[in-house]
């Protein structure tokens, strides 16, 4: 096995796959990348048995073959080399030599036969959509995923494919984020899959705001995403996601229309004096005004008052200020709508123009 490639052309695919490789491994081969050379192209595969990333690029002076090379070492060597240098990689026996200019590195290898690869995913549905659209959906919802929750099905993102629409939903039981887009695909039956947290984070790092498209391939136990020369495959969480539509408050007719940036700034100021453990702030709604109150065990208090478009009077409800700030950060537009029902109900946040992105924050007793 042999190939030559410019350092920048090698660095890009390595950056795309090296993040998948875990530092602590149960199997030694999982610390390596599978390198495969064939047909004038070289592919790099990284996996942790849950998520797999394959990136392919053109190479020169190739000789077909495959081997596994230590991922972190190969990436660090390539990153440390000077710009524009030509890199030669050659397998001799059970060692790989990486040469560039006057630099030469010899790395240990493991056989390619030991490397676990996901081959067939039993395709059941396929959707093509703009890359920027899918990135947008994930960026607007990923922050609400649970982290190491015993309810394992919350430690990921729900992708809900239905007739003419694709939704991404995440919740940790205290708040919920939902974002959707129209799709042209004719979906035979509604599909709901849960991508694990790590898979979501890897995809977010992979996507760019370009004008390309991505293919989403739904398998029985896997999701595969194809984008240009990169193929991403993730196992799915085998669990039942909660009925998220039941969480979106119905009859939340007490609306507060307010500038998004001014509300964020006021909440950030009030948060300074909120209880460090519960992070609670109280929203006091009165005609054309929104008051924000925070206090802590040291008897310190913060008061903010903002102008708002609302006919509502005498409504007070408490929330975790971090959850409100996360939701406001994920919304776009100059104004937001806070939709409330009463002092014990959750708050629905969205933009006045659109319901494509909706965020629900559960109330906090203060």
Q: How far is CA 221 from CA 120, 153, 236, in A?
A: 10, 14, 6
**Is the pLDDT at 175 greater than 80, yes or no?**
yes
Contacts of 209 (CB under 8 A, 6+ apart): 131, 132, 135
Report residue 38's pLDDT band, with 50, 70 and 90 as the boundaries: very high
**Is the pLDDT at 37 greater than 90, yes or no?**
yes
pLDDT tens-digit series, residues 241-278: 999 999 998 888 999 999 999 999 999 999 999 999 99
Q: How far apart are CA 72 and CA 87, in angstroms?
A: 17
**Is the pLDDT at 366 greater than 80, yes or no?**
no
Q: Tell me the whole-structure pTM to 2 decimals.
A: 0.92
Q: Where in the chain is the domain with CATH 3.10.150.10?
A: 2-114, 123-245, 248-361
CATH of domain 123-245: 3.10.150.10
What's the whole-number mean pLDDT along residues 21-38?
93
Q: How far apart are CA 198 and CA 188, in angstroms?
A: 29
What is the percentage of the chain residues whose pLDDT exceeds 90? 89
What's the whole-number mean pLDDT along residues 74-82?
97
pLDDT at 22: 87
Domain 248-361 grouped into CATH 3.10.150.10: yes
pLDDT at 213: 94
What class, spelled out in words, does domain 2-114 have in CATH?
A: alpha beta
Q: How far apart are CA 178 and CA 173, in angstroms?
A: 14
What's the whole-number mean pLDDT along residues 74-80?
97
Average pLDDT, the chain: 95
Q: How far is CA 91 from CA 1, 37, 133, 298, in A?
A: 5, 11, 42, 66
Q: How far apart are CA 331 and CA 329, in angstroms?
A: 6
Q: How far apart are CA 81 and CA 107, in angstroms?
A: 16
**Is the pLDDT at 357 greater than 90, yes or no?**
yes
Contacts of 163 (CB under 8 A, 6+ apart): 187, 190
pLDDT at 130: 94
What is the percentage of the chain residues whose pLDDT exceeds 70? 100
* 54 neighbors 231 (Cβ within 8 angstroms): yes
pLDDT at 211: 84
Contacts of 136 (CB under 8 A, 6+ apart): 179, 181
pLDDT tens-digit series, residues 107-166: 999 999 999 988 788 889 999 999 999 999 999 999 999 999 999 999 999 999 998 899
What's the whole-number mean pLDDT along residues 209-225?
91
pLDDT at 25: 82
pLDDT at 78: 97
* 195 neighbors 159 (Cβ within 8 angstroms): yes
pLDDT tens-digit series, residues 285-328: 999 999 999 999 999 999 999 999 999 999 999 999 999 999 99
Q: How far apart are CA 343 and CA 283, in angstroms?
A: 10
Q: How far is CA 48 from CA 33, 79, 107, 118, 235, in A?
A: 11, 22, 21, 11, 11
pLDDT at 189: 84
**Is the pLDDT at 188 greater than 80, yes or no?**
no
Q: How far apart are CA 28 and CA 22, in angstroms?
A: 11
């Amino acid at each position: 096995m042999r190939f030559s490639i410019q350092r920048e052309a090698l660095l890009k695919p390595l950056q795309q796959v090296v993040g998948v490789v875990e530092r602590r491994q149960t199997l030694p081969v999982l610390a390596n990348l599978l390198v495969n050379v064939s047909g004038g192209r070289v592919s790099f595969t990284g996996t942790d048995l849950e998520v797999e990333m394959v990136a392919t690029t053109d190479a020169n002076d190739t000789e077909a073959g495959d081997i596994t090379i230590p991922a972190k070492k190969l990436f660090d060597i390539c990153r440390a080399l000077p710009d524009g240098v030509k890199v030669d990689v050659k397998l001799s026996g059970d060692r790989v030599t990486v040469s560039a200019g006057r630099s030469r590195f010899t790395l240990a290898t493991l056989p390619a036969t030991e490397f676990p690869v996901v081959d067939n995913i039993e395709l059941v549905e396929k959707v093509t959509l703009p890359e920027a659209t899918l990135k947008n959906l994930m960026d607007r919802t990923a922050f609400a995923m649970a982290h190491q929750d015993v309810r394992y099905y919350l430690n990921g993102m729900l992708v809900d494919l239905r007739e003419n629409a694709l939704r991404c939903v995440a919740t940790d039981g205290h708040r919920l984020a939902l974002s959707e887009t129209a799709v042209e695909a004719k979906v035979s039956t509604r599909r709901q899959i849960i991508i694990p947290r790590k898979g979501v984070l890897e995809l977010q790092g992979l996507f760019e705001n370009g004008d390309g498209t991505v293919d989403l391939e739904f398998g029985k136990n896997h999701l595969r995403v194809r984008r240009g020369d990169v193929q991403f495959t993730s196992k799915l969480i085998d669990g039942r996601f909660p009925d998220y539509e039941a969480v979106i408050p119905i009859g939340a007719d007490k609306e507060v229309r307010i500038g998004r940036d001014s509300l964020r700034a006021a909440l950030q100021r009030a948060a300074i004096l909120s209880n460090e453990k519960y992070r609670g702030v109280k929203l006091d709604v009165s005609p054309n005004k929104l008051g924000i109150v925070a206090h802590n065990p040291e008897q310190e208090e913060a008061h903010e008052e903002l102008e708002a478009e609302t006919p509502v009077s005498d409504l007070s409800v408490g929330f975790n200020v971090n959850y409100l700030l996360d939701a406001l950060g994920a919304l776009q537009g100059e104004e937001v709508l806070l939709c409330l029902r009463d002092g014990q109900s959750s708050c629905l946040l969205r933009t006045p123009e659109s319901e494509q992105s909706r965020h629900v924050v559960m109330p906090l007793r203060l």
